[in-house]
Each structure stands twice: as structure tokens, then as C-alpha cells.
Chain A
Amino acid sequence: MSRAITNRVIVWLPYIWLLIFFLAPFVLVGKISLSEPAIAQPPYRPTFDWADGVAGWWGALKAFSIANYTFLTEDALYWKSYLSSLQIAAIATLITLAIGYPLALGMARAPRSLRPVLLMLVILPFWTSFLIRVYAWIGILKKEGLLNQLLLSLGLISEPLTLLNTNIAVYIGIVYSYLPFMVLPLYANLEKQDHTLLEAAADLGASRIKAFWTITWPLSLPGVIAGSFLVFIPAVGEFVIPSLLGGSDTLMIGRVMYDEFFQNRDWPVSSAVAIVLLMILIVPIMLFQRSEARAREQAK
């Protein structure tokens, strides 16, 4: 096999695969979001048929309707869900940062021999099932659950708290599930920091707290940004956590879209929901990719 042919095969095989199974489906989502729902199988009326040729294409362009999108703006459920997803994801990201930063800092300052073990301990939950880790919280948070039992026996509360099926449980779920995503980039950054800077600050009379805010924190910002995006972006579209831990009043767009699809069987509207979600997320995704590219440049 000549080199040129080999090259062609290794380019085209993954390329064509992704074109068919990644790009084409998005075009389809876009297309179906512009068609009308129907009571049929599949439950939408195609705006055009691939077989109709050019004439069909032209007719189809005229038949496209943005009704599904205007529907999204009319029904308060949707824009409320988008807003509350963004809000929940943002707050959860901040909490994750508040918990993840001290943990990453403690790991980075641990004795050198201990660090690989600590790193392994952060990565391990990342490999174990997401679903199982969320499920584990149900037994802890429910009314007769372990947390309430503990608090009652300590005499801290006199009546069991309602935690499961509330937004508090959703926050706990997101923070718990995504903590490793926050800790890993932070640790990578903090571990590389030059600690002689802190010594210099101490010699010059800065307190530990002042040294942290003037040296460690500003230097760690790339890690903070990377970690925050890694938590925020997937949290916005989260489905498993709100549907297992959240209540009926927990509005998150991933769950709304899922219900629209499986319960209402309205494929065009759920496609439109997906397209709008993608548009919202494209900004943080691009920002994330840019900060990653800059970090790679600096590493060189």
C-alpha cells in the first residue's frame, strides 16, 4: 500500500464517520425544528422530501416555518427553563469552585510522594458511573434518609428536612458530580506554580492571606477559567441530576427537552429547544476553546 493511499484512508474513514454521525444529524435537527408536528410515526410532517429534487427544495424553502421558535418565545415555560438552567449552572459552578479550590490547593501543597495518590483519588470518581453517583445521593437526602437520621440523632433538628426533590438537591448533585472537572485543571495549574514567589512575599512581610490574593490567585486564573467552563457548559444541559434529585418545580432545559420528546412526542419543538440551547452554549464553548488554545500557546 503506498503512502498516499494509506494517508487517504486514515483521513477519510474517521472524517466520513463524523460527517454522517455527527454533522448530518445536526442538519436534521435544524430541518425538523422548522417543520410541523403531526400525529404519525415519525411524529412530524417533513417540510421536504429528499427525493423531490431541486423543485422540491425550492418548495421546501417556502414551506419552512419558524412557528416552533415563536412558540418557544410565547410559552413562558421555555424561556424560564433556559434562564433557570443558566442560573442553576452558574451558582453550582461558583459553589464547585469554592469547594474545589481549597481541595486543589491542598493537593498541590501536599508532600510530593503523596500527590500521585491524591490525584488518583480525584480521577477515580470520574471513571465511576455518573448515574450511580447521583443515585447514591437519593438514599442520603430523602426524608427518612441518612442525613436526616444523622441530624435528628444529633439533636440539631427536631423534624426531618425536605431535601430531596428540591433545588438544593440539584445543587448538591451538580457540585458532587462535577467536582473532579474543577479540581483537575486547578491542580495542574497550582502544582506548577513557583513557590519561591510566596517565599519572597513572606520575606517582604506579606501575610499568608495577602500573599495568596496577590500571587497564588491571579496566577491560577487560567485554571479557574478552564475548570469553571468544564462545569458550567455540561451543567446547563444536564438531564439526569434534575430528573432524579430535582422537584417538579426544578426547571432545567435538558429535562424540559427530554419530556417534550418522550412524553409530549413533539419532535419539532424539542428540536427547536435543542437548537436554541446550542446557540446559547456556543458562546461559552468558543470562549473555552480560546482559553484552551491560549494555554497551549503558553505551554510551548
Chain B
Amino acid sequence: MTRAWNGFNITSVVLGFAFLYIPIVLLIVYSFNASKLVTVWAGFSTKWYAEAFANEALVNAGWVTLRVAFISATVATVLGTMAAMVLTRLTRFRGRFLFSGMIYAPLVMPEVITGLSLLLLFVSIGMDRGITTVILAHITFSMCFVAVVVQARLAGFDRSLEEAALDLGATPAKAFFTVTLPLIAPAVFAGWMLAFTLSLDDLVIAQFNSGPGATTLPMKIFSQVRLGVTPEINAVCTILVAAVALGVIVASLSIKRQEVRRQRAEQLAQQTS
């Protein structure tokens, strides 16, 4: 008897995925609905996409969101990679316990608490709320996710390569950029992607820390959804879902290809030595 994939297993997988995907599929299908009534099908139409792009407030919110996500993901990746290096390499320094606590805590912290606490900080130092405060807030929580992703990669990392570079006279910085970074690049990139989508997605923290002129897309969607479901919002959501899904699939395929290539190169190196 092998591990039988029996009828019960197949049914639960099919039902499970149906549950996960049907709501999103329905959302996408109804974004192409000609009727204004979201739940009555009246033929195929792309007019809601045209209307969404003609809605200046929505488009502006889209640009704000992309800008926030790009800047915060990039800074968070730099800080998070540093934090991952600290967690895996420097096992002993004063305050390490506090440091690792501060990295892991934001991962499970309820967003309302993170949002509120950062807002109180910005108010108390007299910083006006706006796009900068949203970016600072997003960097703070997403750098912890980056640190965890990169750390997993660094934990299984062969340090002898880096030591060889140092022995051959490379400065630590040079050894990092020419040896370590290329090897951990897939994880760093995955961390960036995660930080980017976290920022793209965040509503609660942005709601607390944003000010006039810095309305992000999730904030805009949220305020409109409270007034009811509209086909225009369905269209915006479909664009977001499609963009993220495409990004994730392309990224994971390219990481996979890189991984295979690296393994092949390592095998080759072992055979020739």
C-alpha cells in the first residue's frame, strides 16, 4: 500500500480550494458585468475599468500606494537584511534578547495597536501626518518580515566561502557584496516582494498614520466599500489581484530557476575539484 490519495482526500482538497478561490473568481467575473447592480449579470463590459481609470481620486490613491510600497519595501529590505545578519552572525552582544524580541513581536502584533502606537509617536514629536509617516510606519513592520525571510536563508549558509574571500584580502563590505549578497539574493528579493505586497495591502496602519493628501488605495477602497459594493471597486480590486498574482508567480519561477542553476553549478564544482 502506498500513501493512498483516496476519495476523501481528493474531495477535501477540491472543496478547500473551491472555498479559497470562488469568492475571488466571482469578484473578477462581476467586474466585467455591464450592469450597475453588482449581483445581476447583464452582459460583458469593460466600462468599469475605463471608469476606474477616469476617477482621479482613485488613480491618485493608486500612485500614492505604489510610491509608499516601493520606498518602504526598499528601505525595509536594507534594514531587514542587516537585522537578519545580526540575528544569525552576531550571537553575542549586549541587548540581543531585546533585539530579537523587537524583530518577532511585530509579526503577531494586532495592527490596531501598531497603528495607534506609531501615531502617538508622530504626534508627540510634532511630525505632521502624511505620506512620510505612512512610509516610516510601513518600513517598521515590514522590515521584521524581511528579517525573518532572509534569516531562514542565512541559517543554511556556508560561511567558508565568505571566510575565503576575507582571507584573500577582501574587506568585509566587499566580501558581503561579492560573495554573500549574490548567494542570499533570492531570499532578499522574496523579502522585498513580501514587504511590497504588505505595504500595498495595509489599511489599518495607514489609516492611523496618514494625513490629508496621502490617501492610499486600501483607504480609498475601504471608505467606498462602507457605502456599498460598486463595480468600479470590483475593477480596481481585479487589477490589484492580477498584478500581485502575476508578480508572485513570475518571482517564484525565477527564484526556482536560479536555485536549480546554482545547485547545478555547485555539483559541477564538486565534480571538477
- Residues of the B chain whose Cβ atoms lie less than 8 Å from the Cβ of A254: 110-112
Asked if residues A132 and B82 are in contact (CB atoms below 8 Å), the reply is no
B273 within 8 Å of A by Cβ? no
Asked if residues B3 and A195 are in contact (CB atoms below 8 Å), the reply is yes
Ordered by A's residue number, 20 sampled pairs between the chains whose C-beta atoms are within 8 Å are: A18-B140, A21-B121, A28-B124, A109-B3, A127-B197, A131-B201, A131-B203, A135-B233, A135-B237, A136-B26, A140-B26, A176-B20, A237-B110, A239-B111, A240-B222, A244-B222, A258-B112, A271-B120, A277-B110, A289-B104
Most buried by B among A18, A135, A258: A18
A88 within 8 Å of B by Cβ? no
A107 within 8 Å of B by Cβ? yes
B157 within 8 Å of A by Cβ? no
- Distance in Å: Cβ of B265 to nearest Cβ of chain A: 22
Asked if residues B12 and A103 are in contact (CB atoms below 8 Å), the reply is yes
Interface set, chain B 5-41, CB cutoff 8 A to A? 5-6, 8-13, 15-17, 19-21, 23-24, 26-27, 30, 38-39
A15 and B99 in contact (CB under 8 A), knowing A105-B12, A130-B201? yes
Complex: A180 Cα to B248 Cα, angstroms:
16
B-binding segment of A54-62, A71-79, A117-125: A117-125
Interface set, chain B 67-89, CB cutoff 8 A to A? 79-80, 82-83, 85-86
A-binding segment of B43-51, B56-64, B238-246: B238-246
Sample of 15 further A-B pairs with CB below 8 A, known A103-B17, A289-B104: A10-B82, A18-B140, A21-B140, A28-B117, A42-B123, A102-B16, A106-B8, A111-B5, A121-B17, A128-B241, A139-B30, A199-B1, A236-B110, A244-B222, A271-B116
- Residues of the B chain whose Cβ atoms lie less than 8 Å from the Cβ of A179: 16, 19-20
A274 and B108 in contact (CB under 8 A), knowing A14-B82, A176-B19? no
- Residues of the A chain whose Cβ atoms lie less than 8 Å from the Cβ of B3: 109, 195, 198
B105 within 8 Å of A by Cβ? yes
B181 within 8 Å of A by Cβ? no
With both beta carbons as reference points, the residue of chain A lying nearest to B11 in the complex is identified as A106
With both beta carbons as reference points, the residue of chain A lying nearest to B122 in the complex is identified as A25
B-binding segment of A1-9, A151-159, A217-225: A1-9
- Residues of the A chain whose Cβ atoms lie less than 8 Å from the Cβ of B149: none
How many A residues are at the interface, by size bracket?
35 or more
Task: Choose among A107, A277, A285 the residue that contacts B13 (Cβ–Cβ < 8 A).
Answer: A107
A233 within 8 Å of B by Cβ? yes
A124 and B102 in contact (CB under 8 A), knowing A10-B86, A133-B24, A139-B39? no
